Structure 1
């Protein structure tokens, strides 16, 4: 079937390939196209914001700000999450159980209005027109989607982006390599005792929505309640992954915790200074610096044989 129709996962022993929708099988051509689109600001109304504007590789595809404003400078509501191993996640947003696939989730930043991020609401057809004017994109879409003649529209944009995002795989931390120092090892034991009920599994998240502390109806962001209308869901947010956590601050769903010490304290557990230091050493051991420098995930330098 050719290189454009195949994809070979590179995964460590014991890690199974992530689920992939039947209507969007992985191919090298889709991943290549999705990578270019991920870094292309033409996905925003004024050409100033790409996916990578908020999801920055050196921050493990998170951000370094509390919340990122969109193209209209409307303040963001929630902190930008890291994307390491996002292919295994569902749901994908902090408080939206309907966002179950990367293909679906792509519409939120592009077309969302609460808040406005990339500002393309009501302009879906413009996406096809913009990329359709580029002869290289014409070639790349044709290679990625031969079954529909290389159609250039948001549906195929989302499928390509999702394919690239499924390659954001991070398994190179000291924890993965079983190279924890003494303090991190002690922190690992504390973590298993106090934190692993929610931050569980190899990605350190149960992918379930929880509330820490009492509900506060006065808060502007009511979390899961905004989607369900169920009073018991006020203030519930999905457990974030802790992979690369030391690189993705500030923390919390609204980015309001500026240090890991503060983020730990908010969980209501009683830890002395020595325990906190050990927990932070363990969290630091979840960083994968190779992931943050991997060239195949960076902004592409060329396309169709020409420099970008």
Structure 2
């Protein structure tokens, strides 16, 4: 059965955007604000070749989505093709770093589900403090706060914080760094941004709000719903029945994932709800309190996690270490952690992991075979097109 031929798929409707006082949120269509001149096309062609064509924009706003995917947190900044295209350019542009060496995509690489297979990522003045989080299906999540410690209230707010971080992209305005205002001036002097902002907004003004809006639209457009799980879920009435396209081991893992601990399951679904497999926004710390590079430090502020989709690529290879401190090199390691959690000394541990009334920690009594079955099920959550679709790829000519 071909995924795109399945009749149960319906597109999510294109929503009208809200207007803001600064007129940065007024675009409500998938086309630019004016006709594209031949001169503009030639200017962009010199930088992007055929990768960016304003007369034939890639489809970001009206992608096919399974009808059982109901979450959508993009209402205040709905995706349009034109601004997501601008966001794609910004996402891959190394000019957004102070020394022109780092882009958003340096730490969030398409080949690794928009994460990094290194434990921490290299910035302009050092390394990131935590492992780079996968950016899969951020639109389809209940948790709308960002960073591992949820310090950004929205994805929009998150997008410019790494730019203003001294270690990451260097426009902090501290320690001799240039400021964000310096970045905006820098971008206004780049010819292709004059053309792209004119096309998207009707003028060449570049502001932080516009950077945030367009970057967030591009990131929310990154979706992955062509996995083995999706192929099985489409023809099943619900997640609780065996999927006909699964192996026995995968169905066993699925059953363990959904069955609560008091019924001899793992209860993973309590925090990672299907079918999006996003994190419950009320979740507290998961028992991982390490700090990368400092064996004596602890950090209980981490309460967020990415979706469980695309932990592995479509070849079954893990897309990098797990957890904020990259302390789990494999899914088996992570599952063994959840199988036996010590609550001692963790004041922010999620109550669901405290092991009941005693509160001493969780012990699921999963066998080695159970752990491997759960890993097999998690592998079914990995798609294919997210790694190859050119609309999410680097638009710059190399």
Identify the TM-score tier after normalising by the shorter chain.
0.7 to 0.9
Larger Rg: 2
Partner of 1:287: 382
Deviation of 1:212 after TM superposition, in Å, equals 3.5
Q: Which moved more, 1:25-34 or 1:250-259?
A: 25-34
Decide which of 103, 108, 122 is 1:50's aligned counterpart.
103
Q: Describe the SS at the equivalent of 1:11.
A: strand
- Judging changes above 3 Å, is the alpha-carbon distance between structure 1 residues 32 and 212 closer, same or farther for their aligned structure 2 residues? closer
User: Higher helix share goes to which structure?
Assistant: 1
Contact residue 97 and residue 163 of structure 2 kept, 8 A: yes
Q: Deviations over 1:77-101 (max 9, x none)?
A: 21111111112341122112x4232
Deviation of 1:215 after TM superposition, in Å, equals 7.3
Q: How far apart, CA to CA, are the structure 2 residues paired with 1:35 and 1:288? A: 21
Contact residue 31 and residue 164 of structure 1 kept, 8 A: yes
Provide structure 1 residue ranges, at least 5 long, that are not aligned to the other structure: 225-235, 302-306
Q: Does residue 1:118 correspond to 2:118, yes or no? A: no
RMSD: 2.5
Q: Deviations over 1:150-170 (max 9, x none)?
A: 311332112111111111011
Count of aligned residue pairs for this structure pair: 285
Q: Give the alignment of 1:1-308 within 5 angstroms.
A: 3-4=31-32, 7-16=61-70, 18-20=72-74, 22=76, 24-73=77-126, 75-89=127-141, 90-96=144-150, 98-113=151-166, 116-122=167-173, 123-146=179-202, 149-178=203-232, 179-193=245-259, 194=266, 195-204=268-277, 205-213=279-287, 220-224=297-301, 236-246=302-312, 247-267=318-338, 268=340, 269-301=364-396
Q: How far apart, CA to CA, are the structure 2 residues paired with 1:289 and 1:31? A: 21
Q: Which moved more, 1:53-62 or 1:104-113?
A: 104-113
So what's the TM-score if we normalise by structure 2? 0.66
Q: How far apart, CA to CA, are the structure 1 residues paired with 2:254 and 2:68? A: 21
Contact residue 43 and residue 118 of structure 1 kept, 8 A: yes
Deviation of 1:56 after TM superposition, in Å, equals 0.7
Provide structure 2 residue ranges, at least 5 long, that are not aligned to the other structure: 1-28, 34-59, 174-178, 233-244, 260-265, 313-317, 341-363
| Structure showing greater relative contact order (alpha-carbon pairs closer than 8 Å, 6 or more residues apart) | 1
